[in-house]
Amino acid sequence: MVHELNFYVVLYYLPYCRYCKEFKPIFEKFSEQLRLEGIPAKTYMYDVTDKMGTIPENLTAGPFQTVPRVVFIKHNHSILFDGKRTVKDLMEFSEQVLRM
């Protein structure tokens, strides 16, 4: 349930986007790294063309002009990730967000 956890990371993507296809495996590795390091975050990958929604409604966002887009959500505040698309940069950013 959404209210049980206060830290989420959402990847918004388009299934036909070349950059999204390249980034999805990196995001999956990042998700695994969060789990391995015990960081209390729930990660989602959200296809923005999926009108049925595969994530909790309060985590949907948009519209976006660019994808892939990674948004960190902590205590219902959205923080856009604008760093390099690497596991290292995502991890560093998640640690910054946790300290906020």
Q: In this structure, what CATH number is given to the domain that contains residue 41?
A: 3.40.30.10
**Which pLDDT does position 1 carry in this prediction?**
30
pLDDT tops 90 at residue 24 = yes
Q: Which domain holds residue 44?
A: 2-99
One-character DSSP codes across the chain = -GGG--EEEEEEE-TT-HHHHHHHHHHHHHHHHHHHTT---EEEEEETT-TT-SS-GGG-----SSSSEEEEEETTEEEEE-S-SSHHHHHHHHHHHHH-
Q: Give the tens place of pLDDT for each residue, 30-63.
A: 999 999 998 888 999 988 887 656 666 656 555 5
Q: What is the mean pLDDT of the chain?
A: 84
Looking at the structure of the chain, the number of domains it has is: 1
Instruction: Give mean pLDDT, residues 5-30.
Output: 92
Give percent of the chain with pLDDT exceeding 90. Answer: 47
